[in-house]
């Protein structure tokens, strides 16, 4: 691994594992979110069409959990990196929580949408929303009770893919934190970045499905691995 001094452009991908120590459930652990709620029912457009009340309740619950959670040392370390790193940094997160932002990071791209954002199917407006949708509130813009969670469900196109691919093509370091590498297109970012000449580092609790694609994999808790890595980068 070349040293950190020549790093000018970092792209970071995060997944549910970076928020696990903040008390937010991951998806594929034994007690994961998908254990109690089949994906097809609560994270697809078809599931929403079939039982909108169930889906609204699922995301009302997640919105409540997000608001009760606090950023952990990993989120705060990335906030410090964002402030102090002299090169370019983009944090692409698969997470719908706002813990990166509350941890001090500024340049965060939520490719799977945001739990605290809602999207009106009547007028296409998006609103920051901290309450519930289950009770069918009126859209502040058009007055229709037609708002859905602003979440990218399975079968829908993740947000800002062009911007992500452009950043990956210019990165000289790609870091994946707290993701199982189970879901594309995010799971393919490491190959994209490596093909453009970036070094690839994985920080994860356990081996992921994509570990073999990385130049280096460090196993452990994000709250320990991420602050240590940020110190290394900032010390050059
Ligand atoms: N520190 C670091 N990594 C952790 C920690 C921790 N404290 N706890 C768990 N992990 C790791 C797990 O080992 C696992 O590899 O985080 C990863 C979480 O994997 P998933 O539960 O699959 O979550 P994620 O990778 O974010 O899922 C991707 O799938 O269902 C969709 O839209 C959903 O965005 C999600 C996407």
Check if the beta carbon of residue 108 is closer than 8 Å to that of residue 101. yes
Phi, psi of 164 (to 5 degrees): -70, -50
Measuring CA to CA, how many Å separate 225 from each of 15, 108, 145, 169, 231? Answer: 15, 20, 44, 26, 10
Distance CA(58)–CA(48), nearest Å, equals 11
What is the CB < 6 Å shell around ligand 1?
Answer: 15-17, 20-21, 26-28, 32, 94, 112, 178-180, 182-183, 204-206, 208, 221-222
Q: Which two tokens stand for residue 201?
A: 């580092």
For residue 147, pLDDT over 60 is answered with: yes
Q: Which of 98, 65, 59, 95 is nearest to 79 (CA)?
A: 98
For residue 1, pLDDT over 50 is answered with: no
Phi, psi of 219 (to 5 degrees): -100, 130
What average pLDDT does this structure show over 132-136? 97
Could you identify the atom of ligand 1 that is nearest to the CA of residue 28? 21
Q: Which two tokens stand for residue 38?
A: 């089949």
For residue 110, pLDDT over 50 is answered with: yes
Predicted local distance difference test score (pLDDT) of residue 5: 74
What average pLDDT does this structure show over 42-64? 97
What three-state secondary structure class fits 49?
A: helix
Could you identify the atom of ligand 1 that is nearest to the CA of residue 16? 26
Predicted local distance difference test score (pLDDT) of residue 13: 98
Distance CA(13)–CA(176), nearest Å, equals 5
Predicted local distance difference test score (pLDDT) of residue 175: 98
Measuring CA to CA, how many Å separate 61 from each of 25, 66, 67, 68? Answer: 12, 9, 10, 11
* 22 CA → ligand 1 middle, Å: 13
Q: Which two tokens stand for residue 215?
A: 């130049």
Predicted local distance difference test score (pLDDT) of residue 71: 98
Q: Supply the residue whose CA is at minimum distance from atom 17 of ligand 1.
A: 179
pTM for the full model?
A: 0.97
Residue whose CB lies within 8 A of the most ligand 1 atoms, among 178, 184, 202, for a mutation test: 178
Predicted local distance difference test score (pLDDT) of residue 3: 64
Q: Which two tokens stand for residue 126?
A: 């998006």
Predicted local distance difference test score (pLDDT) of residue 41: 95
Which sequence positions are flagged as catalytic? Answer: 112
Give the chain's mean pLDDT: 96
pLDDT class for 232, splitting at 50, 70, 90? very high
């Amino acid at each position: 691994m070349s040293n950190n001094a020549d790093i000018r452009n970092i792209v970071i991908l995060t997944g549910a594992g970076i928020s696990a120590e903040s008390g937010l459930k991951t998806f594929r652990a034994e007690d994961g979110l998908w254990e109690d709620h089949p994906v097809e029912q609560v994270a697809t457009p078809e599931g929403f069409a079939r039982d909108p009340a169930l889906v609204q309740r699922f995301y009302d619950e997640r919105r409540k959990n997000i608001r009760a959670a606090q950023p952990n040392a990993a989120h705060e370390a990335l906030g410090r990196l964002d402030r102090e790193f002299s090169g370019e940094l983009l944090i692409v997160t698969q997470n719908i929580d706002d813990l990166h932002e509350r941890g001090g990071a500024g340049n965060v791209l939520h490719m799977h949408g945001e739990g605290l954002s809602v999207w009106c199917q009547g007028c296409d407006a998006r609103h920051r929303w901290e309450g519930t949708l289950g009770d069918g509130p009126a859209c502040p813009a058009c007055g229709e009770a037609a708002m859905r969670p602003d979440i990218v469900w399975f079968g829908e196109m993740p947000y800002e893919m062009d911007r992500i691919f452009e950043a990956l093509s210019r990165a000289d370091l790609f870091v994946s934190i707290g993701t199982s590498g189970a879901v594309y297109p995010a799971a393919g970012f490491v190959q994209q970045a490596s093909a453009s000449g970036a070094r690839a580092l994985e920080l994860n609790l356990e081996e992921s499905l994509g570990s073999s694609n990385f130049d280096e994999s460090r196993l452990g808790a994000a709250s320990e691995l991420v602050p240590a890595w940020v110190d290394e980068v900032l010390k050059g």
